[in-house]
Amino acid sequence: MTDPTPILRADKLSFSYNSEEPTLKDISFSLFSGESLGVLGPNGGGKSTLMKIIVGLLKADSGKLFFENKLSSDYKVYPFALFSYVPQNSELNTILPVKVNEYMDFARSLYKEHNSATDIDELLDLVGILHKKNSLISKLSGGEKQRVLLARALINRPKLLLLDEPTKGLDSNGQDQLLAIIEKIKTRDKTAVMIVDHNINQIIRNCHKILCLNRTYHWHDHRDLLTKNILEDVYHCEFEHLLIHENDLKNNTEQNGTDHHLFCDHDHSKEIDPHSLLRRKK
């Protein structure tokens, strides 16, 4: 059973990089313990901007942001202890000859209250790379580096995990594995997870709630209520099919011998992750 108090709540957040056109307008949503929120939308739709507002890198022009029902501006110090953030294009330094366990020990030292409480081996095992703890970071694959970043983000046992395009650069199998790890973290620790990603199918399959953003337009609710018409409003293109449940995929494949994914007919379809576009609508 989830805590009735949301870990994160946004109330009509708006933001603009200039005075002419808003990047975000009246964005509202809530996220509870043990839930996952997937954020979808085209490039430039405001996804990463929203994430930066949440972590305190940008300040909203208007609206309110709450952490555990306390207004963010009411905290004497911004509540960094409540969340961990893995930004888009995070990179590990592969120049220095640092091993995975050495990197994690250093990261743990930055959190004084977690120096002895956090078991590095436990975290590495959780993300599936305990066998790589004595390996040089420079020798890891892209997927393994993402797992190290995820393990680092868990050192302070956050109540909220914020991930900006965590599957970027990974193949389909690597994406599945990473999202399965995130699901395990969410289930084990009742962590609330917010994921920004371009892979529509993966987000729909793995997140309880969906937030669709395209600058001044937004839609937010449980994934069961997401329709292809909503996605068409967000991406300004036409979708043939929408996968909501994995059972739909299984049943459709068994009955028709075909996969049931998102298809879009749009001149700018490169804005959407290629794993979500298996063919163009004729």
- pTM for this one? 0.81
Cβ atoms 58, 49 nearer than 8 A? yes
Cβ atoms 8, 193 nearer than 8 A? no
**Mutual orientation of helices 142-153 and 100-109 as an angle, nearest 10°?**
20
DSSP string, 50-101: HHHHHTTSS--SEEEEEETTEEGGGSSS--GGGEEEE-TT-----SS--BHH
Go through the domains of the chain in sequence order and give each one's CATH number. 8-237 (3.40.50.300)
pLDDT digits (tens, 9 = 90+) for 141-184: 888 888 999 999 999 889 999 999 888 888 888 888 889 999 99
pLDDT of residue 69: 92
| SS3 (DSSP) at 246 | helix
**pLDDT confidence tier of residue 18, bands split at 50, 70 and 90:** confident
What mean pLDDT comes out for the span 23-39? 93
Give the Cβ contact number of residue 5 at 10 Å. Answer: 13
